[in-house]
Amino acid sequence: MRIFQVINVRWFNATAWYAITLSRLLADAGHEVLVLTQAGTQAEQAARDAGLDTVAVDLNTTNPVRFAAAARHIIQLLRAHRPDIVNCHRGEGFFLWGLLKLFGFHYRLVRTRGDQRPPRSDAINRWLHAGVADAVVVTNRRMADYFLHKMRTPGHGVWLIHGGVDTAKFRFDPEGRERIRKEFGFGPDDLVVGLLGRFDRVKGHQETIRAVAALRKQGLADIRLFLIGFDTAMTTDQIEAHIREAGVGDITRISGRRDDVADCISALDIGVVASLWSEAIARSALEIMAEDRPLVSTNVGVMPDLVDAAVLVEPGDVNGLAGAIRSVATDQDVRERVLAAQKRTMSQLTLDEFLKRSLNLYQSLLDGD
């Protein structure tokens, strides 16, 4: 197949990760993939680092002259490459792709919703998604329900395709676990609780810190906290201020930017996703579960699709988060239930399954010609 993946995303966030991972899988499988990006962005660099062919097109501009130039550029690309599939991973520019399809360019149009913000349910948007797009891909059941009931998209046009994880890279490594725990001063009998994610308010670092502090006061003397992340919207100084305020500086370590994230995950005894909103794709959750680390989480975004209900809590609920961590740490039955549920989930979320489901969608659209 000839496929355009439209990734006009500025940051290398979960949406960009999903799109670039899919593009690489398609290219490795022998398909002709062209990635359309915003020039000079993290997403563009990540696509190039993945060995993908990229073209910069300014679909995010609000300047009429620059937008007209972008439209001309797209028309040139369509005539040169004649794609079978165009998959848009952002809303900016999606209307233009819809118009070009209506004007006679022969491609199947897919809109992938990799974020948790629902589109406006107005007449134009409903028509664009249900009448112009050939399919809408969503990454969690909540967004699927929104399109089916609020956007009135026909059931055959909504495809739920979770992201996949590289299970060859993200697998439990006893040697990596020992090395990382030694490096950061965690003993063999310590209970290491970890949050993997960029430093951003949405990720719930403060709530996780307070939950660990509460558990320590309740008598879990061997508990430790490992924050695997680095500065983005929040700085290390801000994170450390929360740590000092909670009085857990002596039991908390911060990884900083690392190339051995898989080993850092292996060092954990319990993983945490404490996000306050978002998590439409939950890359970090998939990586933690792939390494067979029991995961507790808030019930945002895709997380109810992935995590056992026994360890799901409301976002911002520090006491609930502490209780979920305690139950996994102290109740063997709960821990085994959580791990068994994760194994079932992860069997369906490999990179092979991600590619297979995406290709099933694309092929079904082409078979309809």
Domain 2-164+350-367 and domain 174-346, same fold? Reply is: yes
What pLDDT does 98 receive?
96
| pLDDT tens, position by position, 297-337 | 999 999 999 999 999 999 999 999 999 999 999 999 999 99
What is the pLDDT, as a whole number, of residue 271?
A: 98
Please give the class, per CATH, of domain 174-346: alpha beta
**Residues with pLDDT less than 70, the chain:** 369
pTM for the full model?
Answer: 0.93
Q: What is the pLDDT of residue 369?
A: 62
Residue ranges covered by each domain of the chain:
2-164+350-367, 174-346
pLDDT at position 119 is: 87
2-164+350-367 under CATH 3.40.50.2000, yes or no: yes
SS (H, E, C) the chain: CEEEEEECCCCCCHHHHHHHHHHHHHHHCCCEEEEEECCCCHHHHHHHHCCCEEEECCCCCCCHHHHHHHHHHHHHHHHHHCCCEEEECCCCCHHHHHHHHHCCCCCEEEEEECCCCCCCCCHHHHHHHHHHCCEEEECCHHHHHHHHHHCCCCHHHEEECCCCECCCCCCCCHHHHHHHHHHCCCCCCCEEEEEECCECHHHCHHHHHHHHHHHHHCCCCCEEEEEECCECCCCHHHHHHHHHHHCCHHHEEECCCCCCHHHHHHCCCEEEECCCCCCCCCHHHHHHHHCCCCEEEECCCCHHHHCCHHHEECCCCHHHHHHHHHHHHHCHHHHHHHHHHHHHHHCCCEHHHHHHHHHHHHHHHHHCC
Identify the pLDDT of residue 292.
Answer: 97
